Structure 1
Amino acid sequence: MTLNSALYNALTGLGANARAAHVVSSNVANATTEGYGVRSLSLSSRTLGGAPSGVVIEGVNRHVDERLLGDRRLSDAAVGYGSTRSNFLDGLEKAIGTPDQLGSLSGRMAQFEAALIEAVARPDGEAALNASLNAARNIVSHLKTTSDHIQDARLTADQSIAQEVAQLNQGLKDVQDLNTKIQAAIVRGADPSGLMDQRQQAIDALSSIIPIKQVPRDGGQVALISSGGAILLDGRAAELGFSPVNTIVPEMTLGSGALSGLTINGQPIDTTADRNAITGGSLAAHFQVRDDLAVTAQEQLDAFARDLVERFQDPALDATRAPGAPGLFTDAGAVFDPADEIALSSRLTLNAAVDPAQGGAAWRLRDGLGAAVPGNVGNATLLGQLVDALDAPKVAASGGFSGTARSSAGLATDLLNSVAASLSHSEAQLGFDAAQNDSQREMELAQGVDTNAEMQKLMVIEQAFAANAQVVTAADEMLQLLLSM
């Protein structure tokens, strides 16, 4: 080996050592950076005429477990879906209230019945009659508040859909731009690892919204396809369309055309199907809240209101009422029509005849809604019939409840139990998905930067650098000796 070749070998070695030290320092500095792929330097020896001729830097390799990354992204979507559903159901349960709360629907019903029983015992007591009216008024108010909560949840879901669609459109464009830059970097022979990190972060930011599968393409590019088969990005980013509304009432549904659906590149997506193009992420869950869960909750609440109205609208109850006149609970002051059940819980009011706030009198609760003057203050017959009407076993006419006959309080319990069962199932599934997501993230971190291993590499690099530097020094001394001869 000549002095020139020895010097050249050492110099290429020093260059490789410097680049390797840079890669190690980058790994250590980004040990906790989300989306960072561990780098390693790829080297190869070069020979000229069969003789060693230094080392060549082939490039920097970025190491990511694509299968684990894909599984974790699907898990992100499952957590996004489950948390959105659970948040709605939890809020609904709180709005209805649990039986241990006095302000719950069950508690309001119990207070109403207790007040009526007290009035039966003291029909001459104005305080007992007023307490019964206040208890009935509290039921009306509670149903209205719960109905408002459900529609507010639908509006929040509608607004969240709009926000997530905008985030998806921007995120897909960002990934498209990064694809182009990565391809250009590879053509130039530059290291695209930093751009790949950014692309992974951009895709990760979308993974909780829609379950995304990443498919490699030529030139370092990737395509993105939802688990439901929708092509979100393949060369060009897809354009998702959605039009939010400013207010939502129970009558507004997707089927009626009052609410917007989702489109991808102008093509409508059936978000109501069990398996659709966006199934599994928070976007699908928001659609489910707006168009399914909240709609069902409103239907059941209206069914409860209907059951309550019809119990006291029974023609056999209160002979003083004119035929076809409303009972104690009314549909905005009028008699209830079964064909107009939607949003009944939000229109429910007390009969003006007994409501002092509407010009009525509390004594009509005892003497009859159609009574012109007070009757025998000791007659508790009608009050007792009101109690019986509350307790009478009756099959709910709507709302999807079981065919079991139950009292009004029993129906209130069934309404809450339905929500509680859905919430329990949703939380159990969310707990499983969250635990799985945590495990996958831990596995990702375990396959990330090992700082101990990187420091060991740095020690080896330091030794190699010193050896190459020693060769350069020795070659220089020999050349200087030769030149001085």
Structure 2
Amino acid sequence: MSLGTSLYTTITGLKTTESRLDAVSSNVTNADKAGYTRKEYQSNYVTTSSGTVPTGGSIETLAYDQYLYNAMREDSSDVAYFEIISDYLSKYSASLGSTSDSSTISSSLDNLITTIEALTQTPEDTSLKSTIVSAAEMLTYELRTLSSSVQELRADVDEQIEVLVTEANTALEQIEVLNKQIARAEVMGTSTANLEDERRTALEALSSVIDVEYYINSDNQMSVFLGGRSLITSTSGATLLSYNSTSIVDSTVVYPGGFDNVDLNGVDITTELSKSALGALIELRDTILVDEQLKLDEYATTLMDEMNTLMNQGASLPARDTIVGEEVPPVAFISSGSVRIATVDSAGTIANVVDLNLAGATSIGDIVLLINGSAIGADVTASVTANGELQLVANNAGEGISINESTSSIGVDAEGFAKFFGLNNMFDGTDASDIYVSDYLRTSSEYMVTTQLSLTAVVGEVGVSIGSASQIEAISDLFDTAVSFSAAGDFAAQNVTLSTYVGKVMSAIATEASSAKTLYETAHDAYETTVSNYENLTGVNVDEEMAMMVELQSQYEAAATLLNAIQEMFDQLMSAVN
């Protein structure tokens, strides 16, 4: 080997060692950078008659396992899904509280039951009536608050969907840009290793938002797909998702129709998004939280129906001098049976009474004519309000109106006279979102029903007894009686008490929240294990890199010493020639 060849070989060796030192330095510098993989300088060699010498090279990621990376990406998607489900279920469970808490729907119901039971012992106690109305107001407040909590969570979820769609688009745009940068680097013959790291990091971020598939072609270009639909291909740019959150969310806003579509190039893919962060949010908004609202609504409507049925069968003392129905009846209906209407004084003595035969009455107008044209018409005036409700007004000072539904049956549900028109309702509203205690009770709790108007008493006799607790006892018994609940959300139809149903709502969501938390923790542990395995394979061990740096430094010094020796030999040769 000539001195020139030796000199060339030594210089290329020095450059190779220098490049390897650069790779080690980069590894140490980026050891904590997310997604960074350990790099090595891979030399290219050429063999000639004079020997084998390095002819350049490139920095590459050597210890990369695609299957392990895919497992980490899928685990990341699972973690994002279960974390979101767990987080929102925990929030709603916290708003429900537990059956042992002092300010929950369960405790409010217990307070109402307790005060009603107390009134059965002293039905004339006006302070207990006031306490009952207050307890009922607290119960309706809890129901409205829970309903509002559900819809606030749905609104928050909807906003997060827009946020995550934006994050997904950002990741897609990053992959598109990195594809182009990698293509340019391939043409220029420079290393693409760091760009590939960044592209894998962007793909992992995308995978936590939506469940995607990908492949990398022979030109090192990444294509990404969602359910068979292209998001990025080697020949086209990124196809972005679009979504706009809804400004106002209540129980009437649902998908499809109420919420925007998650759109991909004009196609609604909302229902195609599976176990990922975006899929979790859609499942919460459109299924899980909707089910919870349906259960609250079923409880509220059943409570209203059962309590109002019993309230309208009863009478209070004192009796109201003006009664306005809280139900607007249909234009036409069928009536049968009879209803007793009486005017009574403050002691419950009947001043006037009539048993009206309702047969043939098919409208509220017929009912008004029937009442006004009867014997009671001299003392009670019936009319229709501007809103379409039935109104009864006692004409004589000091007298109020009492009603016994008797055998009356009106409408498709065959309700009693007072129930059909909502004359003595305890609660009003349409569902859990707007349930409230009737205005007349909030204004004056003394009108709380405790007894019934006698069906046999005549004028001059006591028709409403102040000491009778017959109807408040019936109301009290309601809470020990199984009532019919229709299927709602993930609850099947069932016959249970009002208290039991509340307990089931609370325990079910607590169980779901606990289960979701367990699933999240399990998924997170699996993810951490996969990440650890991946990082052990591809990550940087700083101690190993520093040891490699010392070794390379020794190689560099040896090559430098050899270069000096060759230089001296050249000098000696030149002196001899001269």
Q: TM-score, normalised to structure 1's length?
A: 0.90
Match of 2:283 in 1: 288
Give deviations 1:387-407, integer Å, cap 9, x for gaps: 112221112034153444211
Match of 1:336 in 2: none
Give deviations 1:49-75, integer Å, cap 9, x for gaps: x21253122211113322111111111
Contact 2:164 2:209 in 1 (8 A): yes
Shift of 1:11: 0.4
* Residue 100 in structure 1 maps to residue 91 in structure 2: no
Contact 1:182 1:196 in 2 (8 A): yes
Match of 1:381 in 2: 470
Match of 2:151 in 1: 151
Task: Tell me how far apart the structure 2 counterparts of residues 120 and 325 of structure 1 sit (CA, whole Å).
Answer: 27
Match of 2:437 in 1: 350
Q: Percent identity?
A: 22
SS in 1 for 2:288: helix
Task: Tell me how far apart the structure 2 counterparts of residues 219 and 458 of structure 1 sit (CA, whole Å).
Answer: 33
Shift of 1:309: 0.8
Unaligned runs of 5+ in 2: 316-401, 404-417, 454-461
Match of 1:362 in 2: 446
Shift of 1:219: 2.3
Shift of 1:110: 0.8
Contact 2:487 2:493 in 1 (8 A): no
Match of 1:463 in 2: 554
Task: Tell me how far apart the structure 1 counterparts of residues 447 and 254 of structure 2 sit (CA, whole Å).
Answer: 43
Shift of 1:413: 1.0
Query: How large is the RMSD of aligned CA atoms in angstroms?
Result: 2.2
Shift of 1:456: 2.5
Which of the residues 267, 270, 274 maps onto 1:279? 274
Task: Tell me how far apart the structure 1 counterparts of residues 259 and 463 of structure 2 sit (CA, whole Å).
Answer: 51
Shift of 1:381: 2.4
Give deviations 1:363-384, integer Å, cap 9, x for gaps: 4343579xxx996543322222
Give deviations 1:29-86, integer Å, cap 9, x for gaps: 21221110110111243233x2125312221111332211111111111111111111
SS in 2 for 1:455: helix
Unaligned runs of 5+ in 1: 333-340
1:322-471 to 2 correspondences below 5 Å: 322-326=418-422, 328-332=425-429, 344-356=431-443, 360-366=444-450, 376-399=465-488, 401-447=491-537, 448-471=539-562
Match of 2:86 in 1: 86
Which of the residues 470, 481, 484 maps onto 2:572? 481
Task: Tell me how far apart the structure 1 counterparts of residues 45 and 445 of structure 2 sit (CA, whole Å).
Answer: 102
Match of 2:332 in 1: none
Task: Tell me how far apart the structure 1 counterparts of residues 262 and 219 of structure 2 sit (CA, whole Å).
Answer: 32
Shift of 1:301: 0.5
Give deviations 1:324-374, integer Å, cap 9, x for gaps: 133544333xxxxxxxx6xx1112111222112xxx3334343579xxx99
Task: Tell me how far apart the structure 2 counterparts of residues 283 and 73 of structure 1 sit (CA, whole Å).
Answer: 15
Give deviations 1:74-119, integer Å, cap 9, x for gaps: 1111111111111221122122221011112111111110111122
Contact 1:41 1:60 in 2 (8 A): yes
Give deviations 1:143-163, integer Å, cap 9, x for gaps: 101111111111111111111
Contact 2:105 2:502 in 1 (8 A): yes
Q: In structure 1, give the amino acid aligned to 2:239.
A: A
Q: In structure 1, give the amino acid aligned to 2:442.
A: D
Task: Tell me how far apart the structure 2 counterparts of residues 230 and 100 of structure 1 sit (CA, whole Å).
Answer: 51
* Residue 224 in structure 1 maps to residue 224 in structure 2: yes
Match of 1:318 in 2: 314
Shift of 1:475: 0.8
Task: Tell me how far apart the structure 1 counterparts of residues 447 and 556 of structure 2 sit (CA, whole Å).
Answer: 101
Contact 1:31 1:449 in 2 (8 A): yes
Task: Tell me how far apart the structure 2 counterparts of residues 232 and 318 of structure 1 sit (CA, whole Å).
Answer: 67
Task: Tell me how far apart the structure 1 counterparts of residues 493 and 246 of structure 2 sit (CA, whole Å).
Answer: 37
Contact 2:17 2:552 in 1 (8 A): yes
Contact 1:216 1:222 in 2 (8 A): yes
Question: Residue 193 and residue 374 in structure 1: after superposition, are their counterparts in 2 closer, same or farther (change >3 A)?
Answer: farther
Task: Tell me how far apart the structure 2 counterparts of residues 22 and 288 of structure 1 sit (CA, whole Å).
Answer: 49
Task: Tell me how far apart the structure 1 counterparts of residues 270 and 419 of structure 2 sit (CA, whole Å).
Answer: 47
Contact 1:241 1:266 in 2 (8 A): no
Task: Tell me how far apart the structure 1 counterparts of residues 53 and 492 of structure 2 sit (CA, whole Å).
Answer: 82
1:30-109 to 2 correspondences below 5 Å: 30-48=30-48, 50-52=49-51, 54-63=53-62, 64-109=64-109
Which of the residues 294, 298, 303 maps onto 2:298? 303
Of Structure 1 and Structure 2, the greater helix share is in: 1
Shift of 1:385: 1.6
Shift of 1:8: 0.7
Task: Tell me how far apart the structure 2 counterparts of residues 449 and 374 of structure 1 sit (CA, whole Å).
Answer: 92
Contact 2:31 2:542 in 1 (8 A): yes
Task: Tell me how far apart the structure 1 counterparts of residues 175 and 55 of structure 2 sit (CA, whole Å).
Answer: 32
Question: Residue 377 and residue 263 in structure 1: after superposition, are their counterparts in 2 closer, same or farther (change >3 A)?
Answer: same
Task: Tell me how far apart the structure 2 counterparts of residues 213 and 397 of structure 1 sit (CA, whole Å).
Answer: 43
Q: In structure 2, give the amino acid aligned to 1:62.
A: T
SS in 1 for 2:223: strand
Match of 2:563 in 1: 472
Contact 1:28 1:449 in 2 (8 A): yes
What is the number of residues matched between the two proteins? 461
Task: Tell me how far apart the structure 1 counterparts of residues 183 and 82 of structure 2 sit (CA, whole Å).
Answer: 37
SS in 2 for 1:60: strand
Give deviations 1:425-468, integer Å, cap 9, x for gaps: 32222121111111111112212112232222222212211221
Task: Tell me how far apart the structure 2 counterparts of residues 68 and 32 of structure 1 sit (CA, whole Å).
Answer: 20
Task: Tell me how far apart the structure 2 counterparts of residues 30 and 374 of structure 1 sit (CA, whole Å).
Answer: 91
Q: In structure 2, give the amino acid aligned to 1:325.
A: F
SS in 2 for 1:252: coil
Task: Tell me how far apart the structure 2 counterparts of residues 229 and 428 of structure 1 sit (CA, whole Å).
Answer: 32
Task: Tell me how far apart the structure 1 counterparts of residues 55 and 73 of structure 2 sit (CA, whole Å).
Answer: 37
Q: In structure 2, give the amino acid aligned to 1:409.
A: S
Task: Tell me how far apart the structure 1 counterparts of residues 202 and 59 of structure 2 sit (CA, whole Å).
Answer: 22
Question: Residue 303 and residue 480 in structure 1: after superposition, are their counterparts in 2 closer, same or farther (change >3 A)?
Answer: same
SS in 1 for 2:123: coil
